[in-house]
Amino acid sequence: MDFYAYQRLVGKIDDIPELRDEFIAIFNTKSKADIVRFCLALGQHLLDMTGFQPIDEITASFVAMQRWLDGKTNYHEARNLSLQISRVARAEEDPIKARFLRTMAQVAASPHVKYHGLWVTDFAVTLVNRIHPGDMDEVKKERQKHIELLRAV
């Protein structure tokens, strides 16, 4: 599997490849714990950006991710919540809310595999694509936010 070309589950992405490449270059310098910290910050950013209220599974996943960072649990707690968020997403009829939930499932899965921290950014860009169709300025702002959040960890 080419971890850097993951689009099978994401679908078409209207993206800015140069900013994605910049993100990947920084991503490659970070530890798994750094990526989980990034995902916690990204998850909060996505809640703020969309205005959606977190479902219980999202709130619990943030707690599980922090517990993993604190060495109090293994990755299974967060990964299982990620799977629960995905189940909720499958039942969601609003395509924007469903994409948001799928993105948050990737956030929650970050203690499982570091690359979820990369894939979540692709999901987030497809979320922006759905909220603002054809608006590459919004995509640019989102990718720049990913870079800013990743540099901060």
Per-residue confidence (pLDDT) for residue 1, from 0 to 100: 45
Residue 137 maps to a domain: yes
Residue 11 maps to a domain: no
Report how far residue 5's alpha carbon sits from residue 78's, in angstroms, rounded to the nearest whole number: 24
Residue 129 maps to a domain: yes
**Amino acid letter, residue 25:** A
Cβ-in-10-Å burial (0-12, 13-18, 19+) of 107 comes to buried
Per-residue confidence (pLDDT) for residue 12, from 0 to 100: 78
Task: Please give the residue range of the domain that contains residue 67.
Answer: 33-152
Each residue's pLDDT, cut to its tens digit, for the chain (153 residues) gives 455 565 556 677 899 999 999 999 999 999 999 999 999 999 999 999 999 999 999 999 999 999 999 999 999 999 999 999 999 999 999 999 999 999 999 999 999 999 999 999 999 999 999 999 999 999 999 999 999 999 999
Residue 23 maps to a domain: no
Residue 119 maps to a domain: yes
Residue 96 maps to a domain: yes
Q: Give yes or no for a contact between 126 and 11, defined as CB atoms under 8 angstroms apart.
A: yes
Residue 54 maps to a domain: yes
Report how far residue 69's alpha carbon sits from residue 75's, in angstroms, rounded to the nearest whole number: 10
pTM of this prediction exceeds 0.85:
yes
Q: Give yes or no for a contact between 46 and 103, defined as CB atoms under 8 angstroms apart.
A: yes
**DSSP letter for each residue of 2-43:** -GGG--TTT------HHHHHHHHHHHTTS-HHHHHHHHHHHH
Per-residue confidence (pLDDT) for residue 7, from 0 to 100: 55
The domain total for the chain is 1
Residue 138 maps to a domain: yes
**Beta strand segments in the chain, E:** none
